[in-house]
Amino acid sequence: MSSPFWAYVEALPETGVLVLSPEESRHVAARRLRAGDVIVAFDGRGRQAPARVERIGRRDVELVVLGVETTPAPSPPFVLASAIPKGERLATMLPMLTQLGVDVWQPLELEDSAVRRIDPEAPRMRRILIESCKVARRAWTLVIEPVCALESLLAKDATGPVVYGDREGLRGGLDAATRLVVIGPEAGFSEREHRALREAGATPHAFAPHNLRIETAAIAGAVAAWLARGERAGGTSAPVLAGGSG
């Protein structure tokens, strides 16, 4: 039996009638759903509800909400911080992080960063996050923090061991309590950044035998942290910082 279709809504009422946006309505029509079918409506902020398709119009779809369920925000969150991948590589990375249970992505501005600025509120970025949530069937969208420097990140209180990607680092599994994994750009961390990581008590860890692109290292770090936690995270609950030094 296939999983029900997920549709995003800005606001989810406890009960009653709900009209989908034109964009979400087009998705419903493309799936050839019919009146009487039940889908899942979600708001990306932890609330989701089974909803019965009441009417499919030319420009909108009307649903009847059957009862709202709330998924608590993960605590502590699973954070992945990384240098920013170029162009479409970022559009590839964000859905992967969503599917792998990363709660927060912290973009970093590092000495050898090729990309130093992004707009987390850009419409395209928002669409990517919503569509990723629908694919992953998760109640919370990935949170994207404002770009910051490595020193600012390390100044925050860590909720567990801090790991950073380094091809010459330790091999094997991560500590189950790991809540922060840091990875730099393809060129790796600078000597100053390595020193800052060591002084913060971070442990170098190799995620592969070779140098990795940012998005590859981020995905590897997310998988390693998830396996270490040994749990199924609906929104997830642990931090990872990603970069390309694998």
CB-based burial, 77-99: b 16+ in 10 Å, e otherwise: bbbbbbbbbeeeebeebbbbbbb
User: What one-letter code names the amino acid at 6?
Assistant: W
Q: What is the pLDDT of residue 24?
A: 94
Residue 187 backbone dihedrals phi, psi, to 5 degrees? -75, -10
Multiple choice CATH, 6-70, 3.90.470.20, 2.40.240.20, 3.20.20.450, 1.10.10.10? 2.40.240.20
What is the identity of the amino acid at 100? L
> Can you read off the two tokens belonging to residue 128?
């990517």
Say whether pLDDT at 183 is over 70.
Answer: yes
Q: Are the C-beta atoms of residues 174 and 135 closer than 8 Å to each other?
A: no
pLDDT at 96: 97
Question: What value does the mean pLDDT take over residues 217-239?
Answer: 72
123-136 and 87-99 helices, crossing angle to 10°: 30
What is the domain partition of the chain in residue ranges?
6-70, 79-229
Q: Which CATH class is domain 79-229?
A: alpha beta
Q: What share of the chain is helix, strand, coil (3-state, %, to 5)?
A: 25, 25, 50
pLDDT of res. 246? 53
Tokens of 74: 């993960």
Average pLDDT over residues 170-181: 89
| pLDDT band of 160, cuts 50, 70, 90 | confident
Higher pLDDT, 173 or 157: 173
The whole-number pLDDT of residue 231 equals: 52
The CA distances from residue 211 to 35, 122, 167, 168, 243, in Å, are 52, 31, 7, 10, 10
Supply the mean pLDDT for the chain: 90
Of 63 and 74, the structure prediction assigns the larger pLDDT to 63
Are the C-beta atoms of residues 149 and 109 closer than 8 Å to each other? yes
Per-residue pLDDT at 232: 41
Residues in the chain: 246
Closest C-alpha to 226, from 236, 218, 235: 236
Dump pLDDT digits (tens) for 87-146: 899 999 999 999 999 999 999 999 988 889 998 889 999 999 999 999 999 999 999 999
pTM of the model: 0.87
Question: Three-state DSSP class for 134?
Answer: helix
